[in-house]
Amino acid sequence: MRFYIIAGEASGDLHGSNLVHAMNKSQTGLSFRGWGGDLMEKQGVTVIRHYRDLAFMGFVEVITNLRTILNNIEQCKKDILDFKPDALILIDYPGFNLRIAEFAKELKIPVIYYISPQVWAWKQSRVHKIKKVVDLMMVILPFEKEFYKRFSYDVTYVGHPLLDAIVRENETEAVSRADWKKQNGLDERPIIALVPGSRKQEISTMLPLMAEVCSSFEAYQFVVAAAPSIPMNFYETVTAGQQLRFIPGQFHAILKNASAALVTSGTATLETALFSVPEIVCYKGNLISYHIAKKLIKVKYISLVNLIMDREVVKELIQHELHAENIIKELKNILFNEKHRQRLMDDYQELRIKLGNAGASEKAAKSVLDFMKKIK
């Protein structure tokens, strides 16, 4: 069977790679081609476009890059036509993927969607399009099945694939904290992780803001979880003069060894919590994009941790609230307030229980292969 798979960002590449791995374990003779990243490529996917060339955030940014985005869509459609897949697997990335789903549906190519667009947060009208163009929707958050049920759409809940990635991390041979620090040129001081995202646009906005607080915490060393797809000189340019250590491609290892973290909103907020690291969620975007989003978004929080728990577990510093004074205040709270740290650990444990056990990738793979048997 031939599958065309599309992931448009780092988290999609991770979850796509785990899905492909689980599918190949379950059945031989599968072939994969698509858009993604290094992790998917390692699992045997022929990646024709890397996600680093695809990511545009915010309303203004999308408009200014509209020609590039439309060209990408046309290139993708042509490649699907040439490849003639038995099914399309789409991973999150809704602005792009829903257009491709519509195209595939016209060609009568079955459409499988893994990791639902966050339609519960905004653009709920997208549910009607999803019902028309998606044949199998697999969701990863516990409240999503009930959300879709309100629209008379039956979806498959498989659990969160991050739990699988963390289990695999814990199964690998452990390196002591001292040895890991030595291997990465770090000193003895405890670590504060800086997680500015995986796109150049968000890194150039978030990282300088995060780095401003370094001089207020001289007893700590600040380690940037660098995206392997971003050149190191880009990081050095946006943080000129700051005492930072950049470690690419070791996000989970950094979390294992961190005392606290400053995290740009997104999947990384959940990963940080699942590694039991006290965190502050940070977000600042283009002012026009922010005000448009504020009017459209229908949820109280921007971090997955708070959304899943339906209350403020981790502090969110958004837009005008994100400045050095507030970051320093909140960072001191999660580093030095023992009562607050313990409450965070208790909340993180409750979060794990809500998400359920590992095995999402295997469940998703089984759902895909069972679906393919059903439609043959």
- CATH label of the domain that carries residue 82: 3.40.50.2000
Q: Are residues 171 and 235 in the same domain?
A: yes
Classify residue 108 by its DSSP letter: T
Q: Are residues 86 and 177 in the same domain?
A: no
- Residue 191 in tokens: 């670590």
Q: Are residues 196 and 155 in the same domain?
A: no
Q: Are residues 237 and 214 in the same domain?
A: yes
Q: What is the pLDDT of residues 19-38, one digit of tens each?
A: 999 999 999 999 999 999 99
Q: Are residues 199 and 301 in the same domain?
A: yes
Q: Are residues 8 and 65 in the same domain?
A: yes
Domain count across the chain: 2
Q: Are residues 192 and 302 in the same domain?
A: yes
Q: Are residues 71 and 134 in the same domain?
A: yes
Q: What is the pLDDT of residues 128-158, one digit of tens each?
A: 999 999 999 999 998 899 999 999 999 999 9
Conformational region of residue 189, where left means phi above 0, alpha means psi within -120 to 50, and beta covers everything else: beta
Q: Are residues 139 and 51 in the same domain?
A: yes
Q: Are 19 and 89 in contact (CB under 8 A)?
A: yes
pLDDT-derived band of residue 59, with 50, 70 and 90 as boundaries?
Answer: very low
For the four alpha carbons of 42, 271, 62 and 94, in that order, the dihedral sign comes to positive
pLDDT, position 72? 86
Q: Are residues 213 and 82 in the same domain?
A: no
Domain span at residue 281?
165-355
Q: Are residues 117 and 133 in the same domain?
A: yes
Q: Are residues 318 and 169 in the same domain?
A: yes
How many Cβ atoms from other residues are within 10 Å of residue 373's Cβ?
8
pLDDT-derived band of residue 7, with 50, 70 and 90 as boundaries?
Answer: very high
The larger pLDDT score, comparing residue 376 to residue 151, is at 151
The larger pLDDT score, comparing residue 69 to residue 51, is at 51
> What's this model's pTM, rounded to 2 decimal places?
0.77
Tell me what percent of the residues of the chain surpass a pLDDT of 70.
Answer: 91
